[in-house]
Amino acid sequence: MVEGVFSLDDAQEHITEEAVEKSAAHLIPAASVIAVTRVGLGKVAITSVPVAINQDLKALQPKRQVSAHYLLFALHNYTWQYVRYGQGSTVKGVRQEDLLNLEIPIPPLPIQGRIVEILQKADAIRRKRQETLGLADAILSAAFIKMFGDPGENSREFNITPLGEIADVRSGVTKGRKFGSKGTVEVPYLRVANVQDGYLNLSEIKTIEVLPDDIEKYRLKDGDVLMTEEGDPDKLGRGCIWRSEVKGCIHQNHVFRVRPDRSRLAPEYLAALLRTQYAKEYFLRCAKRTSNLASVNSTQVKAFPIPEPPLTLQQMFVSAVGQWEQIHRRLTDGLAESKRLFQGIIQQAFTGELTAAWEAAHADEISAEQAQRERLPQLVLLDFVRERQRRRPSEPVLITSLMKYAFLLQKEGTTGQTFYYFVPYKYGPFARELYQDLEALAAEGFISVTESDEERTEIALDPSKETTVQEVIAQLPESLRADVMRILEPYGSLSHNQLLATVYAKYPAFATMSRLRRQRSS
């Protein structure tokens, strides 16, 4: 997905509702939008399968008037709004109510679809360039292994030397120092966020006040290898080469500066070694861990065992790296351009500029499609009522049964249509909007809705409208009509109580508030 957005398409499909009921996790249905509201604050995703989430995530299940993919892009565009709600002294968190208070423009569904189509195309360009950049990284890693072998096995029997013996390792300047009346100067400095795995992110360079003597002490030189002191465990010890990109730049104390003895160790060889599994496993073994972060100290960095190939072999690798860096630079520039393109388009999308001309040219089509979308769930209900009445003519069609059919259609249908937002209620899955659709059908005279008592609402087709009902139902797309039949095949002949029992057994997460279930268990 887009920058700052990750996909849960590969979520664990073995997670079951029964398992979730026994845990503290919450089961979220497919086509939900997930927002990271603690660690990784600001990222959003869309699910393609039911998943379990923890307290670091919040789930938004789009209602009928908004598509999940539109909401996904909208949240990405308005990330800055909900990130500012972050609270907490160490790990920032956002409450669900703050997330729900975001104001997001909701155009008609056809326009949402057009916006999503354009944004997905723009994002596809970015993803393709990202994939190409990943392939270039893989090529360099493969070249390293081919030339030096797996450093963990050291099959070529290179001498193993602690890094501190063939490189000068130093920590950087500490932030927040008090200088009193001493004169200071302001210089650019590198933070952990600038040092990525194999490259520098220089999109934001901050400055810091230091003493004049500190400039030379912490100044970076061309060919220095930069390593991070702390971060996510999988990113610990990541490093890259400094190429004097920013004049007069120094480094923070959470970034180690490693200055190799070039008569024994080439910076390019060291930087590539740091990207291997061998290096990652070493730093993970010796790291000090907290709840979400890991850190290493300078002693551990100096002790890092370096397989030391002959310098002539290292220089051959340096030549290959030079060619790779030129390609990598072009790919990186292309990726940055595609990100800028996407950001520009997404901003236009949510100000109305992106589709304004298209909306004006297709106003009648948009109106017709919007009316059809609003009509579809009503036609589905009408079809369910007719078929249920045909299969069990001696029984009235109860609204609770109809609710279960609509629920099963969304759970087990193949079209992926989401007409209703179901929540656990006293008779299992419940969606309030379904009542509005029944009222609309009753207003047209297709059905009658009768409340025989407080707990029993019966629905019946008007016999005089049978021909008209058939004509209206014929407007259903073939795929939806097939889905209705797919649900009625196993469930349409069940009695009301059998249907409820079956749904409760298959989807227990939606039966947690059921009165019938509590009565049976008591």
- What pLDDT digit, counting tens, does each position of 420-446 carry? 888 888 888 898 889 999 999 999 999
CB count, 10 Å around CB of 254? 19
Largest CA distance in the chain: 96
- Higher pLDDT: 11 or 491? It is 491
Residues 69 and 139 in one domain: no
Look at residues 43, 71, 105 and tell me which one is the last residue of a structural domain: 105
Residues 122 and 55 in one domain: no
CA angle in degrees (0–180, nearest 5) for 166-171-176 = 175
Q: What is the pLDDT of residue 166?
A: 96
| Number of domains making up the chain | 4
Q: pLDDT category, 324, cuts 50, 70, 90? A: confident
Q: What is the pLDDT of residue 88?
A: 52
Residues 84 and 140 in one domain: no
* Threshold 0.75, pTM exceeds: no
Closest Cα to residue 1, out of 126, 108, 135?
A: 126
Instruction: Quote the tokens at residue 290.
Output: 């907290």
Cα separation of 464 and 345, whole Å? 53
Q: What is the pLDDT of residue 15?
A: 29
Residue 503: CATH number of its domain: 1.10.10
pLDDT (tens digit, 9 = 90+) per residue, 86-129? 555 444 667 777 777 777 888 888 888 889 888 888 888 888 88
Closest Cα to residue 136, out of 338, 328, 336?
A: 328
Look at residues 273, 288, 307 and tell me which one is the last residue of a structural domain: 307
> In this model, does residue 17 exceed pLDDT 50?
no
Residues 138 and 65 in one domain: no
Residues 167 and 226 in one domain: yes
Q: pLDDT category, 10, cuts 50, 70, 90? A: very low
Cα separation of 30 and 44, whole Å? 15
Residues 377 and 491 in one domain: yes
Look at residues 42, 72, 105 and tell me which one is the last residue of a structural domain: 105
Q: How many CA atoms lie within 13 A of 11 on its CB side?
A: 22
pLDDT (tens digit, 9 = 90+) per residue, 370-422? 777 888 899 999 999 999 988 888 888 899 999 999 999 988 888 877 888 88
> In this model, does residue 82 exceed pLDDT 80?
no
Residues 383 and 511 in one domain: yes
> Which CA distances in Å does 286 have to 94, 159, 298, 299, 457?
33, 22, 12, 10, 66
Residue 92: CATH number of its domain: 3.90.220.20
Residues 270 and 337 in one domain: no
Domain that holds residue 52: 1-105
Cα separation of 467 and 461, whole Å? 11
As a whole-number percent, the residues of the chain with pLDDT over 90 amount to 33
CB count, 10 Å around CB of 276? 17
The kind and range of the H/E element at 20 are: helix 17-21
Residue 255: phi and psi, rounded to 5, are -120, 120
Residues 171 and 245 in one domain: yes
Answer yes or no: are the C-beta atoms of 338 and 125 closer than 8 Å. Answer: yes
Which range, of 229-233, 315-319, 484-488, averages the lowest pLDDT? 229-233
Which amino acid, one-letter code, is at 520? R
Residues 235 and 260 in one domain: yes
How big, in percent rounded to 5, are the helix, strand and coil portions of the chain?
50, 15, 35
Q: Which residues are within 8 A (CB) of 347 and not within 5 positions of it... i.e. 6 or more apart?
A: 77
Answer yes or no: are the C-beta atoms of 405 and 491 closer than 8 Å. Answer: yes
Residues 3 and 99 in one domain: yes
Strands 159-162, 230-231: pairing is unpaired
Cα separation of 352 and 339, whole Å? 20
Strands 185-190, 250-251: pairing is parallel
Residues 214 and 274 in one domain: yes
Task: Compute the Cα dihedral for 9, 13, 17, 22 and give only its sign.
Answer: negative
